[in-house]
Amino acid sequence: MAESTTINPKPLVSIVMGSDSDLPVMQPAADFLKSLDVSFELTIVSAHRTPQRLMQYATEARSRGLKCIIAGAGGAAHLPGMIAAVTTLPVIGVPVKSSNSIDGWDSVLSILQMPGGVPVATVALNGAKNAGILAAQILATTDETLAKRLEQYKQQLQQEVATKIQHLQHSGWPNAFDGGL
């Protein structure tokens, strides 16, 4: 397994994780960005095992052209906060329920409870897809083409709900509300 995979030579988003064991959780962020044709890189940066790598990665992120960082970590989950401490780029933290987690709450609270001045946008436990969506929305503030792709995605979500409503109705479940979709 390669340590770093780059989809585009000039990635806009970086997806980092503390360990390769976090990849199954972080994969949906990569999949979502890929579906919108957003360039990204994916790599491992351990806050505890490779602190020098973390510092170099975080301090060079902006100069490498990155616009947003998605950082996933479990347990003590210091990776997103330490990256945010060293860069001015938006950092989205993904708490990971790891093998040494206390039901994931340790990861959630570690990422969520950042001190004033060092924000990390935090998504739900194992919520990497939402991190990918949020990263795309951040980029779309200055990219109309991407904004249109996100609008299509939101319309797709609405259509999926409409289809599920029709399925319920065809299955014989009563529905008194016909509006909204």
Q: What is the DSSP letter of 115?
A: P
Over the stretch 112-164, which tens digit does the pLDDT of each residue have?
999 999 999 999 999 999 999 999 999 999 999 999 999 999 999 999 999 99
Q: What is the CATH number of domain 5-140?
A: 3.40.50.1970
Percent of the chain with pLDDT over 90: 82
Among candidates 93, 74, 78, 82, which has minimal Cα distance to 118?
82
- Residue 1 pLDDT grade (very low, low, confident, very high; cuts 50, 70, 90): very low
CA distance 80 to 114: 10
The sign of the dihedral angle between the CA atoms of 152, 70, 109, 115 is: negative
Residues 6+ apart with CB under 8 A from 70: 13, 14, 15, 16, 26, 29, 91, 92, 94, 128, 131, 132, 135
Mean pLDDT of the chain: 93
CA distance 33 to 26: 12
Instruction: Name which of 15-24, 63-72, 97-106, 133-142 the model is least confident about.
Output: 97-106
* The predicted structure's pLDDT at residue 176: 73
* The predicted structure's pLDDT at residue 173: 87
**Buried/exposed 72-83: b ≥16 CB within 10 Å, e otherwise:** bbbbbbbbbbbb
CA distance 46 to 51: 7
- Residue 181 pLDDT grade (very low, low, confident, very high; cuts 50, 70, 90): low
Q: What is each CA distance from 54 to 16, 23, 58, 163, 169, in whole angstroms?
A: 10, 18, 6, 45, 53
* The predicted structure's pLDDT at residue 132: 98
Among candidates 100, 94, 105, 99, which has minimal Cα distance to 15?
94
Are the C-beta atoms of 111 and 84 separated by less than 8 Å? no
The boundaries of every CATH 3.40.50.1970 domain in the chain are 5-140
Q: What is the pTM of this model?
A: 0.91
The sign of the dihedral angle between the CA atoms of 109, 105, 91, 137 is: negative
Over the stretch 53-88, which tens digit does the pLDDT of each residue have?
999 999 999 999 999 999 999 999 999 999 999 999
Residue 107 has pLDDT above 90, yes or no: yes
